[in-house]
Structure 1
Amino acid sequence: MQLIKIFLYILPSILTSSSLQSNIKKSTVLVCYGKVKPESIKGYSYVILESLNYSSKEIKIIKSQNSKVFAYISLGEVNIHAPHYKMLKKHTLGKNQNWDSYYLNLKSNKTQETLLSIVDETLSKGFDGLFLDNIDNFTIFGPQKEQKKDLINVLKKIKEIYPKKEFIQNAGLDLIPETASYINAIVVESVASGYIFKDKSYNLRNNSEFNNQLIRLNSIRESTKIPIILIEYADSKKLFNQIIERIEPSKFDYFIGNIDLQSIPKFKE
């Protein structure tokens, strides 16, 4: 389960551009599911947002200040606070106790129709594309591994309907051979860093884990020509700089932020 999804439906916090700290290098990617003033989102290669927090007018402003702007959508689960939860409650396959969400049944026509309707509504706001979460649920060790073909079918439908839009796959690297035709970038979380929920601590991954994952990602980038985006977590300037030192040689685009994902990141001394 990816760290990203838990924070989508928390009450957004409203912040200004003062959250940016001029004495620390800015990430090339912004992932933010809280409500932020559109004018404060500037200069990113990729911006990933919760669409419910923004109007079409606001998305237009954000697009004018950044390269590409994407909206979050989960193709694998539905949170109990999501607007479409009631519509899909009877089309789920059990609960993810860790994240208070339910696994979607993609074999259900109702589920597919609802997801496509959400895609239509979201993209009508003017987003450049979608950030597709929970793709790892459909890998061989995932809770929805039996629905892999159904996931691929949904991706194919979305791409056919919106051939000019772009789509970012979050995790699920084992599926890349089958999803590559429908995506434009791949996100991988916590390659250089980690977060332990039990004691709420940020840390660096050990060198062996980091290097092995980097080798795999470089191989995927080379074979598919699909851009790789890293999402890392830090709470201090020291850890931020340690992560930068690790990942900058890779030339991947990256986001380094706080675990709550509710604001433009800031870091303590």
Structure 2
Amino acid sequence: MKNSNKTGLRSLLAIFICGLFLASCDGSNPDKEYGVFLGMERDDVLKLKDYATVVVDADYLSKDDVVALHNNGNAVVVSYLNIGSIEDFRDPDGKFGDIILGDYEDWPEEHWVDVSTKKWQDHVISKAKELTAKGIDGFFLDNADVYSQYKTAEIYDGLVHIIKKLDDLDKPLMINGGDIFVTKALADGFKKMIAGVNQETVFTSIDFDTKTFSAQETETKDYYQKYLQSCKAAGLQVFILEYGSDAELKKKSAAYCKKNGFHCTFSASLELEKE
């Protein structure tokens, strides 16, 4: 009976969330369809209004703040959750130093962690429960790419374990990046636990040295589009996050997303701190 109730609840929740996602594509305000503001200051986050789906870092918000976001007309409030790496500012005491696997390229203050350890798994689930208590609607799971960096059975199984535990919280899970992991997870039959994916830089490319943006290379763009089509075929919601302010790239990205029923947003900065 317990499993039946759980399945029913998840199904209803999925229908509810998908309905909101679909409503965001009605064309009434495409600029408010989807927004990602992970680097935005709290005071500015609380000014966000009328987004169909908005991604924020609720680690820095209170329960009342999340209520305020909903009251501002933001239909689905999704929180960032790092499942594969640790930033120095989130670990000031260095308690995860013993499970660091290596440094994160282009992000000098971030490090890949051993997701197979109970220590890390317990940390992620504990943080997820804190965020759930604040009233968020879903999770934006970052850095499943740890599997592409350290492609072992232990790392893969560690990520699967984390996602299974997160699935128990009955919140839709959106995986940011992690194409290698997601592809294997879908092949292994875990698609019911993943509500959607977010892919960065399908049409745009980032130069981390100059912090400038340009058009993505054709080979990479084609790879990502093929990957996203496989996610769509598996029944996942697809989101795209692009960077820069190139009008032509915005037009191409918007047309691609509209044609495929995807959701797209552009950020003028790498820090994702501006609306």
The TM-score range, normalised by the shorter chain, is 0.7 to 0.9
With normalisation by structure 2, the TM-score equals 0.77
One-letter code of the match for 1:94? G
Give the corresponding residue for 2:62.
55
| CA RMSD of superposed structures (Å) | 2.4
Report the CA distance between 1:85 and its aligned residue: 5.8
1:227 aligns with 2:218: no
Report the CA distance between 1:91 and its aligned residue: 2.6
Q: Is the 8 A contact 2:175 2:194 kept in 1?
A: yes
Give the corresponding residue for 1:73.
81
**Which protein has greater RCO, CA pairs closer than 8 Å, 6+ apart?**
1
Q: Is the 8 A contact 1:32 1:262 kept in 2?
A: yes
1:182 aligns with 2:193: yes
Secondary structure in structure 2 of the residue aligned to 1:138: helix
1:167 aligns with 2:173: yes
Give the corresponding residue for 1:191.
202
Q: Is the 8 A contact 2:203 2:215 kept in 1?
A: yes
1:59-208 counterparts in 2 under 5 A?
59-64=66-71, 65-83=73-91, 86-96=94-104, 98-99=106-107, 100-139=109-148, 142-143=149-150, 145=152, 146-160=154-168, 162=169, 164-173=170-179, 174-177=183-186, 178=188, 179-207=190-218
Q: Is the 8 A contact 1:189 1:231 kept in 2?
A: yes
Q: Is the 8 A contact 1:192 1:247 kept in 2?
A: no
Query: 2:99 and 2:222 mapped to 1: Cα distance?
Result: 40
One-letter code of the match for 1:147? I
Residue segments in structure 1 that go unaligned for 5+ positions in a row: 1-23, 265-269
> Structure 1 pair 211/112, CA: closer, same or farther in 2 (3 Å)?
closer
Q: Is the 8 A contact 2:32 2:50 kept in 1?
A: no
Greater Cα offset, 233-242 or 109-118: 233-242
* More helix per residue: 2
1:26 aligns with 2:37: no
For these two proteins, the number of residue pairs brought into alignment is: 236
Secondary structure in structure 2 of the residue aligned to 1:243: helix
Secondary structure in structure 2 of the residue aligned to 1:254: strand
Aligned-residue identity in percent? 19
Query: 1:85 and 1:225 mapped to 2: Cα distance?
Result: 41
Q: Is the 8 A contact 2:243 2:267 kept in 1?
A: yes
Residue segments in structure 2 that go unaligned for 5+ positions in a row: 1-28
One-letter code of the match for 1:181? K
Q: Is the 8 A contact 2:197 2:236 kept in 1?
A: yes
Q: Is the 8 A contact 2:205 2:214 kept in 1?
A: yes
Query: 2:208 and 2:124 mapped to 1: Cα distance?
Result: 30
Cα deviations by residue, 1:51-71 (Å, 9 ceiling, x for unpaired):
133221111121231221111
Q: Is the 8 A contact 2:46 2:69 kept in 1?
A: yes
Secondary structure in structure 2 of the residue aligned to 1:186: strand
Query: 1:254 and 1:129 mapped to 2: Cα distance?
Result: 18
One-letter code of the match for 2:209? K
Secondary structure in structure 1 of the residue aligned to 2:145: helix
> Structure 1 pair 68/84, CA: closer, same or farther in 2 (3 Å)?
farther
> Structure 1 pair 225/97, CA: closer, same or farther in 2 (3 Å)?
closer
Query: 1:212 and 1:93 mapped to 2: Cα distance?
Result: 27
One-letter code of the match for 2:262? F
With normalisation by structure 1, the TM-score equals 0.78
> Structure 1 pair 126/25, CA: closer, same or farther in 2 (3 Å)?
closer
